[in-house]
Amino acid sequence: MTLAGTAALGPHTVHRMGYGAMQLAGPGVFGPPKDRDEALRVLAAVREAGIDHIDTSQYYGPDVVNELLREALHPYDGITLVSKVGARRDDEGGWIPWNQPDDLRQGIEDNLRSLGVERLGAVNLRVMPQDPMDLFEKQLAAMVQARDEGLIDAVGISNVSKDQFALAADEIGCVQNPYNLVDRSSQPVLDACTERGIAFVPFFPLGSGFGINDVRGHPAVVQTSQRLGATPSQVALAWTLAQSPVVLLIPGTSSTAHLAENLAAAEISLDEEAIALLS
């Protein structure tokens, strides 16, 4: 399995096909998994497949996903761990902004604690749409300070506009924005990342994990999958990989069968007919 070759993620070089661990938590990314044993089997399969880029966060659960990763994979030899900060959870699982500079520092330290490491490969700053630019500048400064003090290897930013990217570009190693065949609103940010050689990690490459914009049912995806003998998920992931050499995928699943299906997308070569139809 090729895992789609490699690309830069900050100072690290990782396979372009990674793994997003969010779905290992319970419903709504809150509480324990429905099947803990299967969650651990998924992580064992991740290791066996040679995946070296895992995306997570302390607020998945909270702590649930990081603790599963720690149990299954610590000491993470050869794996670049990427997390995110900027939010926390209330007692009912609601999402609460936690995005002041001191909050971000605490969030990084919480991730280090729950994962059992002293340093992370990258941490993404989750930006809220209503955040003013002056707050973003302060947030970015806090993230850069954490990098310079050795807590993280690279600063990432998530949910950002092209203007926010331009402000941060000299300091960052990766961007996480929503992007897939149906939702291409982040195309300008992807283009800017490609120009500068900065990793672009699209979340929800198959559509939202909460059932919004499910790419797998798109007629062009279904038609292409039938013609090529692939699944709709594989076609959608292969299309996303083909958009730029800086794209790193982190499709998530809590199923070993779906993990194998996702990873097989790295073997699919879309022909001119497929690219034309999907584009």
Strand partners, 14: 7
Q: What is the DSSP letter of 156?
A: E
**Predicted local distance difference test score (pLDDT) of residue 13:** 98
**Predicted local distance difference test score (pLDDT) of residue 4:** 93
Active site residues: 60
Q: Which domains does the chain have, with CATH numbers?
A: 6-206+246-252 (3.20.20.100)
The CB density around residue 104, as the number of other CB atoms within 10 Å, is: 24
Give backbone dihedrals phi and psi of 196, rounded to 5 degrees, phi first: -100, 0
CB crowding 158-191: b at 16 or more within 10 Å, else e: bbbbeebbebbeeebbbbbbbbbbbbeebeebbe
What's the token pair of residue 150?
């050795």
Closest CA to 79 of 250, 204, 196, 206: 250
Read off the pTM. 0.96
Split the chain (279 residues) into runs of 10 and give each run's mean pLDDT. Answer: 91 98 97 97 98 98 98 98 97 95 98 98 94 96 98 98 96 97 95 98 81 83 96 96 97 96 94 94
Strand partners, 53: 80
**Predicted local distance difference test score (pLDDT) of residue 2:** 78
**Predicted local distance difference test score (pLDDT) of residue 276:** 94
Q: How far apart are the C-alpha atoms of 91 and 113, rounded to whole Å?
A: 20
The CB density around residue 48, as the number of other CB atoms within 10 Å, is: 8
- What string of DSSP letters covers 122-138? EEEEE--TT--HHHHHH
